[in-house]
Amino acid sequence: MQSDALVSPCDGKLSVHPVKENSAFQIKGHSYTMRELVNDDRIAGRYESGVMLVFRLTVSDYHRYHYPDSGRKSQNTRIKGILHTVIPIAAGARRIYCENTREYFTLSSDHFGEILMMQVGALLVGRICNKHQEAIVQRGDEAGWFEYGGSTVIVCLEKHTVEVLPEIMKMSESKLETDVKMGQIVGFAAWKK
């Protein structure tokens, strides 16, 4: 595996969303801010003008997620919420990414700066099971799992750290998701160029 490759942390349907200068982003017709997503101004500001990769897991997907790069993992932060379904029709009706129970950590990664990785619980998926607290981890190591059903993994990257593959960007710009598998390359480090 190329060291400058960003890999999918899980199986799922991927969409890419730019995070604007005011830390706002749009998913399924809803506007959000990074502050609403993480409930922390300092962390939210880090991802201004960056990019957000949203991996929507379906019932038939492998429900474990892995680290997209090697590095130092932080403590887990849990945000209590409710559990709406994450299927597209429901996601268009609810602001699930700031209402649902979620948990996140940051990864001081070897190739992509400070990555924020968030797990969003969904209806019938009340448990997010992260495997580690603070730890040194390797790309591909298992990070955790969801217990039962569909759910979402969000990966936020800082400005100028990654170039998502053009075919994935084209699909996202057309409001379409790309089917990906855990470990599949989804982009490369921006410093490579």
Q: Which of 4, 11, 61, 69 is catalytic?
A: 11
Could you give the CA distance from residue 54 to residue 52 in angstroms, rounded to a whole number? 6
Q: Which of 15, 23, 109, 151 is catalytic?
A: 151
Residue 103, both tokens: 């948990």
Place of tokens 């991802």: 47
Residue 191 contacts residue 6 (beta carbons within 8 Å)? no
Question: Environment class of residue 40 by beta-carbon count within 10 Å: exposed (0-12), middle (13-18) or buried (19+)?
Answer: middle
110 is catalytic: no
Cα distances (Å, whole numbers) of residue 159 to 41, 50, 52, 68, 162: 17, 4, 10, 17, 8
Residue 69 is a catalytic residue: no
Burial class (CB within 10 angstroms; exposed 0-12, middle 13-18, buried 19+) of 102: buried
Whats the size of the chain, residue-wise? 193
Among all residues, which ones are annotated catalytic? 11, 151
